[in-house]
């Protein structure tokens, strides 16, 4: 196929192991760009996000007609509300490609692989016929391999189902494609690159969890530390300052020689150290280095090595990090019926261990490393009792004085290729009412945990202003990181701006805060008093003593 111009439209992706909604850029666009340049470095590759395209749809459509190849990346498998962007809608996926005549059109990402999720759990629906028909190819395998073969061998040599068996090509593509980040709208500001360290779950040996697609990859395939470091170096050279090692089911077992042979491989802290040390050496001025998934079972089965591994992470990462743990349920019967592998007491122990090692507050105002827990609702065998046990579990964590950075509750998404696909959505449908009750109670606990994680008066450093909401009169700002905490400011600040804030109140998922240092005249004494826990009459002098107000500070007039 003769190609001189390629356009990547990023409709954003969100999967259990991988995030690509701004400020994140996931691996897909980077690997794809690298695959193109691996074939011919003179090919022009342009990148545009769906939010940029939406600003001028007509302009985007007429521009896209001028390319030889259009690649649309899409698929939000675990839908949520996003502050940084809005993923491509089904309607746009249906309409836009059908209006773009000229280029060869390819759909890739989770939408191509699994279909479309309703956002309320349940079975993933197949892609509607009109969407399928508006693309030339739907790639169900690895997009970068398809694009590489398409450009090097032509359509007949490109198998849309091909899945990589090792990282040889990807390691090359990842370095070559790193420069695509310069076209991302968040580049030079709060852009975070998602980094892949391995694929496949060690628990594939026993079939893995009933709802998870990861065991379908079979024996896990590890990326070498040298390749990951080379990719980070390339991204750093092209201006990325925030990284998350998020694409793997369990960072603790990265590099373990037992992976692939044992359901619960023993962590290899030295392998982790080589990786983290390498990253720090090639990206000395990085601002954020975070992780994502940690399997609590690894901490339980190999506590000594897991503790060492966690210490390595804390030594090299940046504070505010989150070890996202799939607790999934606190009902032992549901653990059993879905082969989840970790029982509630074990999960609680893992939470204790992470708290013990990670609760210390770091330079940016947040604890070094805290657990986040995930619950999945609608699993096989659950009953109303399950929901009460789940809540009891959260209460136990709270009553022990432990911290959780966040509690994530989602309805099971039933993907083809998982055991839940066979079991069905009976449990999900039967418990919609109690699920709503559970979510409400979780929101209450989330607020209580946040009060513990960032008490009033905490100063958080280095937040990026993301947007001002005219209707609410609120500015949203966040640090870069894994599950960054949103601060809502009761005044107008416009991006780009990087600020510090002081916390004065808590919601379930965000904190209310004032930017600091505030300009002396007009600083809201009422809110400062709340933040500092002093009477209003003393608020300004106390704030000034702590350096939170200044003559030339920020403006924040609150009506
Ligand atoms: S432990 Fe379970 S949820 Fe986690 S990756 Fe493995 S199979 Fe998936």
CATH number (domain holding residue 368) = 3.80.30.20
List, for residues 381-396, the tens digit of each pLDDT value: 999 999 999 999 999 9
Cross-strand pairs, 488: 476, 512
Same domain, 416 and 469: no
Determine, yes or no, domain membership for 213.
yes
The CATH number assigned to the domain holding 516 equals 2.40.50
CA-closest candidate to residue 325, choices 308, 304, 305, 310:
310
How do residues 140-174 score in pLDDT, each as one tens digit? 999 999 999 999 999 999 999 999 999 999 999 99
Residue 184 maps to a domain: no
Closest approach atom of ligand 1 to CA 328: 3
Pocket test for ligand 1, best of 78, 209, 246 (most atoms within 8 A of CB): 209
Ligand 1 atom nearest to CA at 293:
4
Q: Which of 249, 334, 373 to mutate to test the pocket of ligand 1 (most atoms within 8 A of CB)?
A: 249
Find the 443 Cα to ligand 1 centroid distance in Å: 25
The overall pTM is greater than 0.95: yes
Residue nearest to atom 4 of ligand 1 (CA): 249
How far is it, in rounded angstroms, from Cα 209 to Cα 336? 10
3 state DSSP class of 80: coil
Ligand 1 atom nearest to 203, measured from its CA: 6
Q: Is residue 485 part of a domain?
A: yes
Q: Catalogue the E-assigned strands of 383-517.
A: 406-411, 413-414, 459-469, 474-478, 486-489, 498-506, 510-516
If asked whether residues 222 and 270 sit together in one domain, one would say yes
Instruction: Check pLDDT > 90 for residue 127.
Output: no
Task: Give the Å distance between the CA of 400 and the centre of ligand 1.
Answer: 27
Q: How much distance in Å is there from the Cα of 463 to the middle of ligand 1? A: 33
- The answer on pLDDT for 559 being more than 70 is no
Residue 204 CA to ligand 1 centre (angstroms): 8
Protein residue with least CA distance to atom 2, ligand 1? 209
Residues 481 and 387 in one domain: no
Q: Which atom of ligand 1 is nearest to the CA of 249?
A: 5
Measure 474 CA to ligand 1 centroid, in angstroms.
38
Q: Is the peptide bond before 496 cis (omega within 30 degrees of 0)?
A: yes
pLDDT for position 349 = 98
Residue 79 has pLDDT above 70, yes or no: no
How far apart are the CA of 410 and the centre of ligand 1, in A?
15
User: Which residue's CA lies nearest to atom 6 of ligand 1?
Assistant: 201
Run of H or E residues at 386: helix 384-399
286 and 421 belong to one structural domain: yes
Tens-digit pLDDT profile for residues 270-321 = 999 999 999 999 999 999 999 999 999 999 999 999 999 999 999 999 999 9
Q: In this model, does residue 120 exceed pLDDT 90?
A: no
Residue 130 pLDDT grade (very low, low, confident, very high; cuts 50, 70, 90): confident
Mapping DSSP onto H, E and C, the string for 305-358 reads HHHHHHHHHHHHCCCCEEEEEEEECCCHHHHHHCCCCCCHHHHHHHHHHHHHHH
Domain final position from 395, 420, 453: 453
* Ligand 1 probe mutation, 197, 199, 200, 215, most atoms within 8 A of CB: 215
Which residue range(s) make up the domain with 43?
5-157
Residue 397 phi, psi dihedral angles, 5° rounding: -60, -45
Residue that finishes a domain, picked among 157, 174, 199: 157
User: For position 81, what pLDDT does the model report?
Assistant: 79
Residues 289 and 331 in one domain: yes
List, chain by chain if needed, residues with CB within 6 Å of any ligand 1 atom: 201, 203, 208-209, 212, 214-215, 249, 295, 326
Same domain, 414 and 376: yes
Q: How confident is the model at residue 117 (pLDDT cuts 50, 70, 90)?
A: confident
What proportion of the chain, given as a percentage, has pLDDT over 90?
91
Residue 173 within a domain: no
**8 A C-beta contact, residue 198 and residue 275:** no
What per-residue confidence (pLDDT) applies to 94? 92
Q: Note the pLDDT of residue 78.
A: 62
Q: Which residue has the higher pLDDT, 522 or 77?
A: 522
Cα 212 to middle of ligand 1, angstroms: 6
Q: Predicted confidence band at 125 (pLDDT cuts at 50, 70, 90)?
A: confident
Please answer whether residues 76 and 14 qualify as being in contact, where contact means their C-beta atoms are separated by less than 8 angstroms. Answer: yes
Domain check: are 418 and 473 in the same one? no
Q: Which H/E stretch holds residue 222?
A: strand 221-222
3-state secondary structure labels for all residues of 500-543:
EEEEEEECCCEEEEEEECEECCCCCHHHHHHHHCCCHHHHHHHH
For residues 429 and 305, state if they share a domain. Answer: yes
Please give the number of the atom of ligand 1 that sits closest to the Cα of 340.
2
From ligand 1's centre to the CA of 413, what distance in Å? 14
Verify that 302 and 414 share a domain, yes or no. Answer: yes
Q: Are residues 140 and 241 in the same domain?
A: no
| Ligand 1 mean position, distance from CA 306 (Å) | 17
Question: What is the average pLDDT across 488-504?
Answer: 97
C-beta of residue 329 within 8 angstroms of C-beta of residue 376: yes
Q: How many domains does the chain have?
A: 3
Asked whether the predicted pLDDT for residue 77 surpasses 90, the reply is no
Ligand 1 pocket test, pick from 197, 201, 263, 340 with the greatest ligand atom count within 8 Å of Cβ, gives 201
Last residue of a domain, one of 453, 474, 504: 453
For the segment 217-263, what is each residue's pLDDT rounded down to a tens digit?
899 999 999 999 999 999 999 999 999 999 999 999 999 999 999 99
Q: Whose alpha carbon is nearest atom 8 of ligand 1? A: 212
Same domain for 447 and 463, yes or no, is no
Examine the domain organization and report whether 314 and 357 are in the same domain.
yes
């Amino acid at each position: 196929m003769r190609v001189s111009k390629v356009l990547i439209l990023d409709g954003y992706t969100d999967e259990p192991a991988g995030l690509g909604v701004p400020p994140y850029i996931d691996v897909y666009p980077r690997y794809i760009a690298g695959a193109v340049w691996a074939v011919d470095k003179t090919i022009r590759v342009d990148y545009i996000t769906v939010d940029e395209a939406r600003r001028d749809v007509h302009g985007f459509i007429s521009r896209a007609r001028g390319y030889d190849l259009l690649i649309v990346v899409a698929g939000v498998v675990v839908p949520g509300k996003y502050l940084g962007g809005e993923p491509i809608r089904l309607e746009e996926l249906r309409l836009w490609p059908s209006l773009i005549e000229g280029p060869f059109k390819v759909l890739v990402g989770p939408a191509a692989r699994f279909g479309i999720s309703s956002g309320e759990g349940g079975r993933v629906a197949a892609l509607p016929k009109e969407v399928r028909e508006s693309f030339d190819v739907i790639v169900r395998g690895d997009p970068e391999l398809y694009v590489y073969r398409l450009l090097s061998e032509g359509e007949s040599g490109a198998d849309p189902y091909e899945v990589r068996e090792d990282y040889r090509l990807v390691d090359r593509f990842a370095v070559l494609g790193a420069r695509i980040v310069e076209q991302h709208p968040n580049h030079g500001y709060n852009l975070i690159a998602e980094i892949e360290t391995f694929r496949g779950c060690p628990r594939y040996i026993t079939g893995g969890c009933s709802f998870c697609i990861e065991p379908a990859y079979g024996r896990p395939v590890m990326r070498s530390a040298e390749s990951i470091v080379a990719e980070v170096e390339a991204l750093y050279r092209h201006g990325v300052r925030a990284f998350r090692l998020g694409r793997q089911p369990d960072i603790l077992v990265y590099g373990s020689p037992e992976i692939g042979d044992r359901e619960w491989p023993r962590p290899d802290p030295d392998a982790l150290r080589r990786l983290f040390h390498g990253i720090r050496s090639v990206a000395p001025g990085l601002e954020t280095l975070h992780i994502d998934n940690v399997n609590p079972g690894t901490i339980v089965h190999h506590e000594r090595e897991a503790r060492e591994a966690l210490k390595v992470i804390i030594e090299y990462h940046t504070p505010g990090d989150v070890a996202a743990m799939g607790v999934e349920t606190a009902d032992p019967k549901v653990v059993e019926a879905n082969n989840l592998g970790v029982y509630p007491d074990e999960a609680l122990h893992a939470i204790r261990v992470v708290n013990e090692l990670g609760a210390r507050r770091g330079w940016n105002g947040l604890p070094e490393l805290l657990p986040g827990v995930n619950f999945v609702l609608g699993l096989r065998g659950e009953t109303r009792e399950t929901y009460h046990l789940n809540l009891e579990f959260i209460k136990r964590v709270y009553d022990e004085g432990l911290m959780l950075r966040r509690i994530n509750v989602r309805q099971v998404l039933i993907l083809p290729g998982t055991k839940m696909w066979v079991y069905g959505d009976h449990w999900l449908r039967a418990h919609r009412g109690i699920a709503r009750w559970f979510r409400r109670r979780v929101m209450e606990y989330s607020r209580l945990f946040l009060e513990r994680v960032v008490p009033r008066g905490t100063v958080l450093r280095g937040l990026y202003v993301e947007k001002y909401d005219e209707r609410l009169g609120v500015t949203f700002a966040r640090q870069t990181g894994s599950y960054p905490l949103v601060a809502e400011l009761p005044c107008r600040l416009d991006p780009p701006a990087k600020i510090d804030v002081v916390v004065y109140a808590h919601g379930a998922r965000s904190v209310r805060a004032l930017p600091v240092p505030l300009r002396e005249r007009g600083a809201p004494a009422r809110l400062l008093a709340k933040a500092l826990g002093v009477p209003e009459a003393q608020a300004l002098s106390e704030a000034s003593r702590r350096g939170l107000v200044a003559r030339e500070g920020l403006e924040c007039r609150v009506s």
